[in-house]
């Protein structure tokens, strides 16, 4: 039976979830871990709750950002190390795409916003295309320039919760629906696995251990291999 792991660290919290053919489990959503080892603690707690073991994993899907470089680097180091040790594929998904899939938004042009830094944000734009949503790109925008991007969209999705973005929107005359999310997108990541059409690239075929940074990625790999060998 296929067991999938989803991890996203793009929206100010660490979101981690598991699913198999019949069930779905979601872990705690703490503020972003300060070290990669914190991800192992989250993962162990999630597997305990689900009654599963790490060696049962079949695939990992990870949010690729946009977001904090430090947070994305830590999450990537962890999942790449885990994938190399278990010899399973890692599939990347743009985190704004996952948020769109999570909320089932389609049928109208859409802007997805998430915080970048104070008074700045990431903006991704999508438009309907033959029953699907076509991705038009992501830009980094000062909040003072936000209106010119939102004018081109019929609907707005804010992910992650940002007082600065909310304040900027309140100062605009915006006559379009605004959907707000705390940043949940794990189910959107799983949805990406279900609807994607391009074959995934196996992380263990394209990732040298020496290239995984920071060094903890190599530590995760070594520990995973050791645990698997002990089974």
Q: What is the DSSP string of 88-135?
A: --EEEE-HHHHHHHHHT--SS-EEEEEEEETTEEEEEEEEEETTEEEE
Question: Higher pLDDT residue, 206 or 54?
Answer: 54
Residue 62, C-beta contacts closer than 8 angstroms, at least 6 positions apart: 6, 7, 8, 75, 76, 79, 90, 91, 92, 93, 189
Looking at the predicted structure, is the pLDDT value of residue 214 above 90?
no
Q: What is the mean pLDDT of residues 33-39?
A: 73
**Are 28 and 10 part of one and the same domain?**
yes
**Displacement of CA 208 from its chain's centroid (Å):** 23
Residue 193 domain-assigned (yes or no) = no
- The pTM of this model reads 0.81
Residue 190 domain-assigned (yes or no) = no
DSSP state for residue 215 in the 8-state scheme = T
SS3 state of residue 136? strand
Looking at the predicted structure, is the pLDDT value of residue 111 above 90?
yes
- Sheet with 178-181, edge to edge strand ranges: 132-142, 120-129, 110-117, 155-159, 178-181
Count Cβ atoms below 10 Å from residue 54 Cβ, excluding itself. 17
Please state which of the ranges 8-22, 91-105, 143-157, 159-173 shows the lowest mean pLDDT. 159-173
SS3 state of residue 8? strand
pLDDT of residue 209: 34
**Are 66 and 51 part of one and the same domain?**
yes
Residue 161: closest CA among 115, 95, 104 = 115
Q: Measure CA of the first residue to CA of the last residue in the chain; give whole Å.
A: 19
Residue 127 domain-assigned (yes or no) = yes
Residue 189 domain-assigned (yes or no) = no
CATH of the domain at 37: 3.30.420.40
Nearest 5°: CA angle at 151, between 147 and 155? Answer: 105
**Are 170 and 147 part of one and the same domain?**
yes
**Are 114 and 76 part of one and the same domain?**
no
Residue 192 domain-assigned (yes or no) = no
Categorize the per-residue pLDDT at 227 as very low, low, confident or very high, splitting at 50, 70 and 90. low
Q: What is the mean pLDDT of residues 142-156?
A: 87
Q: What is the mean pLDDT of residues 142-162?
A: 86
Residue 214 domain-assigned (yes or no) = yes
The range of the structural domain enclosing residue 118 comes to 96-183
Please count the structural domains in the chain.
Answer: 2
**Are 34 and 46 part of one and the same domain?**
yes
Looking at the predicted structure, is the pLDDT value of residue 65 above 80?
yes
Categorize the per-residue pLDDT at 218 as very low, low, confident or very high, splitting at 50, 70 and 90. low
pLDDT of residue 222: 60
**Beta-strand relationship, 178-181 and 155-159:** parallel
Categorize the per-residue pLDDT at 207 as very low, low, confident or very high, splitting at 50, 70 and 90. very low
């Amino acid at each position: 039976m296929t067991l999938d792991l989803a991890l996203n660290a793009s929206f100010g919290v660490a979101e981690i979830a598991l699913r198999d053919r019949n069930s779905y489990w979601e872990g705690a959503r703490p503020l972003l871990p300060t070290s990669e080892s914190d991800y192992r603690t989250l993962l162990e707690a999630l597997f305990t709750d689900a009654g599963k073991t790490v060696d049962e994993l079949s695939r990992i899907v990870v949010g690729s950002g946009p977001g904090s470089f430090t947070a994305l680097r830590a999450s990537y180091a962890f999942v790449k190390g885990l994938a190399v040790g278990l010899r399973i594929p890692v599939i990347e998904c743009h985190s704004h795409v996952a948020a769109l899939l999570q909320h089932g938004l389609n049928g109208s042009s859409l802007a997805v916003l998430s915080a970048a830094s104070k008074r700045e944000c990431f903006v991704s734009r999508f438009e309907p295309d033959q029953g699907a949503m076509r991705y038009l790109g992501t830009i980094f925008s000062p909040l003072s320039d936000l209106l010119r991007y939102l004018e081109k969209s019929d609907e707005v999705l804010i992910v992650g919760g940002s007082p600065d973005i909310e304040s900027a929107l309140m100062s605009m005359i915006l006559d379009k629906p605004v959907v707000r999310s705390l940043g949940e997108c794990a189910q959107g990541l799983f949805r990406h696995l279900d609807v994607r059409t391009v074959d995934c690239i196996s992380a263990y075929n394209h990732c040298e251990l020496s290239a995984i940074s920071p060094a903890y990625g190599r530590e995760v790999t070594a520990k995973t291999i050791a645990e698997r060998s002990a089974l």
